[in-house]
Amino acid sequence: MSGGSRNQIMARKVVLITGVTRGLGRAMVDEIARHGETVLGCGRSEKGIRQLRQQVGPPHDFTAVDVAADGEVKAWASRLLGIYGPPDIILNNAGVINRNARLWEISEQEFSQVIDVNLKGVANVIRHFVPAMVARRRGVIVNFSSGWGRSADAEVAPYCATKWAVEGLTLALAKELPSGMAAVALNPGVINTDMLRSCFGGSASGYLTPEEWAKSAVPFLLKLGVGDNGRQLTAPDGSD
């Protein structure tokens, strides 16, 4: 290996992404890998993770993990930190939305599922990865929020509740981090994914594909730094 290529490998950023099997997470994997960074990703679907391993090989690393299960996140973090060290960037992207329904029509089970993934899942990832980043006093944490983390609509109350909570959790976290680190909340915009089709139906097809979105969102995410700590950001939509 030449000195140049060794330095390039050494300079790779390690980017941890949750929810890589579909949607924005899947598109970010390809775009971040194309930028020469190393992606460590998870999703619940074993099949999706197997496909990713075939499509995007080493040094990228994909594992079936449910972010709502604290023990699974703990084991995942322990393995990854041992191999790759602390991530440079965490993209807390994994999320679910309730089926369109008024709040009083939503079962306790479905309500809990949305809270467990969108809010407690973010906290689980922070609990197990961020101490190693704090010890090094370096790294950026991006918590995926939503337009519905800053406004609200009918029939998505559980989802809105979690995304407003993610905004608050992120602002508080930003005050706890040492200098050298940053935490931001990100509204990714409106993108045609399974999640958007669930809440928008057929009109979802009028929006950007995840691949189109990732082309402008990924360079924006990779440039985030200390000066962004505590910001409530919106991803560029390609026209910016």
Report, as residue numbers or ranges, the catalytic residues.
159
Site for ligand NAP in 50-79 (CB under 6 A): 66-68
Does 48 bind ligand NAP (CB under 6 A)? Our answer is yes
Contact flag: residue 117 with ligand NAP (CB under 6 A): yes
Total Cβ atoms within 10 A of residue 161:
20
Q: Is 20 helix (H, G, I), strand (E, B) or coil?
A: coil
Stretch that binds ligand NAP, among 14-22, 53-61, 83-91, 227-235 (CB under 6 A): 14-22
Q: Taking a C-beta distance cutoff of 8 angstroms, is the pair 218, 32 a contact?
A: yes
Helices 23-34 and 210-222, axial angle in degrees (round to 10) = 60
* 83: enclosing H helix or E strand: helix 70-84
- Site map 138..167 versus ligand NAP, x via CB under 6 A: ------x-x---------------------
Q: How far is the CB of 178 from ligand NAP (least distance, A)?
A: 26
Q: How far is the CB of 188 from ligand NAP (least distance, A)?
A: 5
Q: Which residue is nearest to ligand NAP (CB)?
A: 23
Tokens of 144: 């995926």
In the sheet that 38-43 helps form, which strands lie side by side, from edge to edge? 61-64, 38-43, 14-18, 89-92, 139-144, 181-187, 232-234
In the complex with ligand NAP, the residue whose CB is nearer, 45 or 205, is 45
Q: How far apart are CA 104 and CA 90, in angstroms?
A: 35
Binding mask 171-210 for ligand NAP (x = CB under 6 A): -----------------x-xx-xxxx--------------
Burial 84-106 (b: 16+ CB within 10 A, else e): bebbbbbbbbbbbbbebeeeeeb
Helix axes 108-115, 157-176, angle to 10 degrees: 30
The answer to the question of residue 86 lying near ligand NAP (CB under 6 A) is no
Q: Where are the strands (E) in the chain, listed by range?
A: 14-18, 38-43, 61-64, 89-92, 139-144, 181-187, 232-234
Binding segment (CB under 6 A) for ligand NAP, from list 4-12, 44-52, 77-85, 167-175: 44-52
Question: Min. distance of Cβ 97 from ligand NAP in angstroms?
Answer: 7
21 counts as binding ligand NAP under rule CB under 6 A = yes
Number of residues binding to ligand NAP, judged by CB under 6 A: 31
- Is residue 129 part of the contact set for ligand NAP (CB under 6 A)? no
Identity of the residue, 51 or 134, whose beta carbon is nearer to ligand NAP in the bound complex: 51
Point out which residues bind ligand NAP (CB under 6 A): 18-25, 42-45, 48, 66-68, 93-96, 117, 121, 144, 146, 188, 190-191, 193-196
